[in-house]
Structure 1
Amino acid sequence: MAPEETPDATPAQTPARSHPYDNALSLEALRGLAHPMRIQIMNELSDFGPLTASGLAERLGESSGATSYHLRQLAKHNLIVEEEGKGSARERWWKMAPGGVTIGSPETLATPAGREATELISREWAQNNERRLNAFLRYGLDVLGTEWSEASTLSTAHLQLNQEQLAEFGREYHLLGERLRAKWGKTEGDRELAPGERRVQVQFNAFPLIDGNEQ
């Protein structure tokens, strides 16, 4: 299984990794994240930037006590950090930790607990990506107008690749993201939006198809 990263992962902020799993979550951190509400919280922070416990509670339809508890658990594993210079002792702002989140290392997949946690997180991430895409397809034109719709790209391609070529495809994709972020000066994922900017989610999936007869 190739490493999975949250959409907010920003490799340009950190030194180049010698191996794609160098920054993968440990089993302890992976199990700490593997809770549906914690994954939802991570999705909200990744997709929309810093939020408070009460802000998350409103977005997720939960109590602020519940979101506060899960925020503390995420912070315990250094998955999120407090936004410095913002908020107060009673109302703290939280954001994704620099570098994003990578899961799926061979070490964690070698254990039943690690595999179960990885599969749960992967499913929740995939469902969130689908929700975001469906919201854009349903409301994007009315909310954003034709210019943003025309600037967006929805693309599916099929290639015939061997394992090495598929891995190279993924590496080239990440390098392209790093190069464009550096070109545009967009290495700070949680900074305030400049005029004309919106939060943008990039969805990219490259995987071998499994025929129904193979299952």
Structure 2
Amino acid sequence: MKKTDEGRTLDAGALKALAHPLRVRIYDLLSERGPQTASSLAVLIGETSGATSYHLRALASHDLIEEVPDRGTARERWWQRPKGRINLPGPGDVATPAHRAAAQIVNAEFFRRRHEMLMEYLNRSQEGQPEEWRDTGLVVSTYLDLTAPQMEELKSEIQQLLDAAVERYRGQSDPDARRVAFRAELFDLATGPADQEES
């Protein structure tokens, strides 16, 4: 795995190790819920602890996850996702068809899970939520007409906002805090501005 200031880019071995739906789910749960054991992950995803233990070892062998220092016992190991961003290579960034297929599996599973989480949020009743958490979310969809440089500028602004929030709230231990998902999607539709389309 290649590490830079902009995050870690998964190499072919790490990508292949992650290219399994259950491993992507485990990796995601470690990001979402923090350190877990094979047993606690088994309960969360409905698998045996033997299966989750096997997948944890496969992820650890490529430094995708790490054992939590000074926690657990010889029989019950705790695992966490290392801090920092990971970058998944796009289809054009991988050299072989096998690696391209692995990248597609990982991307598809990550985005399937993101969509699932969004739908869980949208379908959740606000009545059961504490008053201070009601209507705190924001789901926005809009269309803009941008040039490529304008899109790069907007992407940079969004990334700066996210980086600042990560720094500001990193390691927060307020008992009233909840884990929050931040999603940003910005991509061109390759059709040109709406007013130039022919009917």
SS at match of 1:70: helix
Structure with higher RCO (Cα < 8 A, 6+ apart):
1
8 Å Cα contact 2:30/2:80 also seen in 1: yes
Q: Are 1:59 and 2:60 counterparts?
A: no
Q: Distance in 1 between matches of 2:137 and 2:11?
A: 36
Shift of 1:41: 0.4
SS of the residue corresponding to residue 66 of structure 2 reads: strand
Matched, 1:82 2:67: yes
Aligned-partner Cα distance in 2 for 1:113–1:210: 28
Q: Does 1:201 align with 2:174?
A: no
One-letter amino acid of the structure 2 residue matched with residue 187 of structure 1: R
Is the Cα contact below 8 Å between 1:80 and 1:94 reproduced in 2?
yes
Please give the alpha-carbon distance, in whole angstroms, between the structure 2 residues aligned to 1:141 and 1:59: 23
Q: Residues 39-61 of structure 1: CA distance to partner in whole angstroms, max 9, x if unpaired?
A: 01011111111111011111111
CA RMSD, 1 decimal: 2.3
1:5 alignment counterpart: none
1:32 Cα deviation from its structure 2 partner: 1.0
Shift of 1:89: 1.5
Answer yes or no: is the 8 Å Cα contact 1:53–1:67 preserved in 2. Answer: yes
Distance 1:63 1:210, change over 3 A: farther
C-alpha separation in 1, matches of 2:159 and 2:140: 17
AA in 2 matched with 1:203: R
Contact 1:27 1:108 in 2 (8 A): no
Whether the 8 Å CA contact 2:91–2:100 is kept in 1: the answer is no
Q: Distance in 2 between matches of 1:129 and 1:48?
A: 15
CA distance in 1, matches of 2:102, 2:149: 27
2:194 is matched with none
Determine the structure 2 residue equivalent to 1:180: 165
Q: In structure 1, which of residues 122, 126, 131 is the aligned counterpart of residue 116 of structure 2?
A: 131
Larger radius of gyration: 2
> Could you tell me which residue of structure 1 aligns to residue 105 of structure 2?
120
**Stretches of structure 2 lacking an aligned partner (at least 5 in a row):** 192-199
Q: What displacement does 1:175 show?
A: 1.3
Q: Secondary structure at 2:135's aligned position in 1?
A: helix
Post-superposition shift, 1:110? 3.6
Which string of whole-angstrom CA distances, capped at 9 and with x for unpartnered residues, describes residues 50-109 of structure 1?
A: 111011111111010000000001001100111222221211111111213211157743
How many residue pairs align between the two structures?
A: 189
- Give TM-score, length-normalised by structure 1: 0.79
Alpha-carbon offset, residue 167 of structure 1 = 3.2
Unaligned runs of at least 5 residues, structure 1: 1-13
Superposition map of 1:103-182 within 5 A: 103-104=88-89, 108-182=93-167
Q: Percent identity?
A: 35
Instruction: Give the Cα separation in 2 of the matches to 1:171 and 1:114.
Output: 29
